[in-house]
Amino acid sequence: MELTWQRHEIEILDRESNIKHHSQLSTNGLDTNAQNLHKDFIKNLPHLSEVRNEHMGIMADISSKIEDAKSKNRGLLSTEDLLNEFDGEMDEKGISLPIKIHSSNDMVIQSRVENENQIVRIISASINGGIFRSFIMPNGCEISSISSGNGIIEILFR
């Protein structure tokens, strides 16, 4: 029985390519002002992605024990309950949930094996005012990959 949570990376398929390299943030040189530089800085935040990723990892680790206790008190959803709640679908390839995320930092998906079943938990502070759901994967199914594109989270089976 594996009691530690494993984080699954979410591949973003419809990532916009309008992020500029940090050296291209401003081409105005000395003909600019602080307000324009700040706008450029805020528009193009790839330089903060490492900090954001580390922050999400730390927050997920810290909250793990608290959330474990909460999930034991709340119980686990079945896959069908999860699909009904999010208006999702399932086929032999995997689970599709109509949830739009803009980056892999918008949501954390973790899993662990308990009594030969894979337990999955979905955590997001920014979606629907915050979500925390744990559910049991269908018998014999394990997560092979997770991707997001066109407003759909795809949890593919192995």
Q: Which has the higher per-residue pLDDT, 139 or 73?
A: 139
Q: Measured between alpha carbons, how far is 43 from 10 in angstroms, rounded to an integer?
A: 23
- pTM of the full structure: 0.64
Q: Look at 115 and 19; give whichever has higher pLDDT.
A: 115
For residue 27, what pLDDT band results from cuts at 50, 70 and 90?
low
What percent of the chain clears pLDDT 90, i.e. is strictly above it? 42
pLDDT for res 47: 59
Instruction: Give the residue, 93 or 3, on which the prediction is more confident.
Output: 93
Specify the pLDDT at position 155.
Answer: 97
pLDDT at position 18 over 50: no
**pLDDT confidence of 28, banded at 50, 70, 90?**
low
70 — pLDDT class (breaks 50, 70, 90): low
Q: Can you tell me the mean pLDDT for 25-44?
A: 69
